[in-house]
Amino acid sequence: MQTDLSIDLDLIRRYNQPGPRYTSYPTAPHFTDEYGTEAFRRDLSEASSNTPLSLYLHLPFCQSLCYYCGCHMKVTQNPETIETYLTALKQEIDQLAAAVDTSRPVVQMHWGGGTPTYLSPDQIRDLGAHLRHRFSFASDAEISLEADPRTVTAERMAAAASVGFNRVSFGVQDVNREVQEAINRVQPIAMVEEAVGWAREYDYNGVNVDLIYGLPHQTLDRFDRTLDVTQRLAPDRIAVYSYAHVPSIKNHQRVIDQEALPSPDEKLRLFERALERLTGSQNGRAYRFIGMDHFARPDDPLSVAQDEGTLHRNFQGYSTRAGAEILALGISGISQLSGAYAQNVKAFPAYYDRIESDRLGTYRGYRLTSEDRLRRHVIMQLMCHFHLQKADIEERFAVDFDRRFASALEWLKPMEGDGLVTLTPEAIHVRPEGRLLIRNIAMAFDAYWRTDEEQPVHAQTV
């Protein structure tokens, strides 16, 4: 059930700090090169044949650079550069298929980037057909891709639909011209509307829209216009991401005028406005606040999964297919097995060298300990469902919850005093006010966060 949500700006200011997004636990900075290709192959061969698969393909190419971008991407107008990568990617698909039981059904697939819709229709069809030749896809598989409206055409949407794509996420970010020019991503509203129209014409049963708050020149009035357009498009899901300005890590972000960025308080008010607008009941089109930065229609599979206790979280965010092991292909991709993570190299020359020598793309990873599995389960329960029963954890992992997590419960007591959580002898319940600070709450159970002398660079929790 959707619970009324509100933002206490003073409380948010007090708790807003850098922290992990918990798309994994432990988080990626703790991966090590002690876990490599051979360990990954061994774990793949030993995996249960009853466990379904989820595929992630990283397609890193873009036609131009968006200044806010934090992805592993490459701007190119050279068709040969893209073809070289696709050839290596298909080789990696073959190598991975040889290492895993391909009778395991693929229940989910996602193409991210970069810009998957920068591929030509023929390239989309060829890559999709190659995957279907090597893996067994479930008839009800959720197959999605990210789309830049500037590269979307009717032919590309038709090509993706022909190989089974049924969900698409459009990167809208903001509809105001001054904001778009400041981030080098100019896309008229009519272009976005046309792209969404093609998705519906070709029977995509899930249309998502991605927005970003905290961009240069954004104001409440301007963001209202973006929300107006978004609600008029009536997508099934909406993601409202926080812009992380880290020019020390992403050099191209130095192009953005820091003076044009909203102040921390103004940025919080932008998200507050999105929360108010999207969860309100205007025109009967209210969305469910799933958590973090995700909103979905009450009848969307994401909302249903949360109601049924099957919602999951992985490197693509919230997911409906809990229990599936993720196999990631392409540069920077991170595979997520039941007991391990494996990350691909991030540089093109190293990737091509590894694929050519039949070493997959893996260069580092992490094998979970029993303690990691316990803490991951607790964190994901809180992140996905905002509630956990201690007895369930005790029965599943044979631990005394209060004794094992005594320090975490102490960490949470001030949050209980601030109305963020309710702590009882039987359970931990995240109150409506705490949903916006769920990352802070999860951090209480992160053994690495609590003990690391030097914390990795993370975005603010709100």
For the chain, how far is it from start to end, CA to CA, in angstroms? 23
- For range 17-44, the mean pLDDT: 90
43-57, 153-167, 310-324 — which is least confidently predicted?
310-324
Structure tokens, 132: 């279907």
58-72, 96-110, 284-298 — which is least confidently predicted?
284-298
Is residue 225 within 8 A of residue 40, CB to CB? The reply is: no
pLDDT at 5 > cutoff 80: no
What tens digit of pLDDT does each residue of 321-350 get?
888 999 999 999 999 999 999 999 999 999
Is residue 6 within 8 A of residue 434, CB to CB? The reply is: no
* Nearest Cα residue to 64 out of 230, 214, 199, 180: 180
Quote the CA–CA distance of 207 and 24 in Å, as a whole number.
26
pLDDT of residue 137: 98
What tens digit of pLDDT does each residue of 292-303 get?
899 999 999 999
Percent of the chain residues past pLDDT 90, beyond the cut: 80
Please report which confidence band the pLDDT of residue 175 belongs to, taking 50, 70 and 90 as the band edges.
Answer: very high
Residue with tokens 């050519």: 356
Q: Which residue has the higher pLDDT, 319 or 382?
A: 382
Cβ atoms within 10 Å, residue 87: 11
What tens digit of pLDDT does each residue of 391-440 get?
999 999 999 999 999 999 999 999 999 999 999 999 999 998 898 899 99
62-76, 257-271, 440-454 — which is least confidently predicted?
440-454
Is residue 222 within 8 A of residue 174, CB to CB? The reply is: yes
pLDDT of residue 1: 43
Q: Give 72's contacts (C-beta < 8 A, 6+ positions apart).
A: 58, 60, 114, 331, 332, 346
What tens digit of pLDDT does each residue of 80-131 get?
999 999 999 999 999 999 999 999 999 999 999 999 999 999 999 999 999 9
- Could you give all domains of the chain from N- to C-terminal order, each with its CATH number? 1-19+370-462 (1.10.10.920), 20-329 (3.20.20.70)
pLDDT at 64 > cutoff 70: yes
What tens digit of pLDDT does each residue of 199-245 get?
999 999 999 999 999 999 999 999 999 999 999 999 999 999 999 89
pLDDT of residue 149: 97
Long-range CB contacts for residues 7-14, cutoff 8 Å, separation at least 24: 7/268, 7/271, 7/272, 7/275, 7/436, 8/433, 9/265, 9/268, 9/269, 9/272, 11/418, 11/420, 11/433, 11/437, 12/268, 12/436, 12/437, 12/462, 13/264, 13/265, 13/268
Quote the CA–CA distance of 247 and 253 in Å, as a whole number.
5
Q: Give 451's contacts (C-beta < 8 A, 6+ positions apart).
A: none
Q: Which residue has the higher pLDDT, 311 or 92?
A: 92
Dihedral sign for Cα 64, 342, 250, 246, please.
Answer: positive
Instruction: Calculate the average pLDDT of the chain.
Output: 92
What tens digit of pLDDT does each residue of 260-282 get?
999 988 998 999 999 999 998 65
Q: Give 89's contacts (C-beta < 8 A, 6+ positions apart).
A: 57, 127, 329, 330
Percent of the chain residues past pLDDT 70, beyond the cut: 95
**Helices (H) and strands (E) in the chain — how many of each?**
18, 19
Please report which confidence band the pLDDT of residue 6 belongs to, taking 50, 70 and 90 as the band edges.
Answer: low
Q: Which residue has the higher pLDDT, 344 or 453?
A: 344
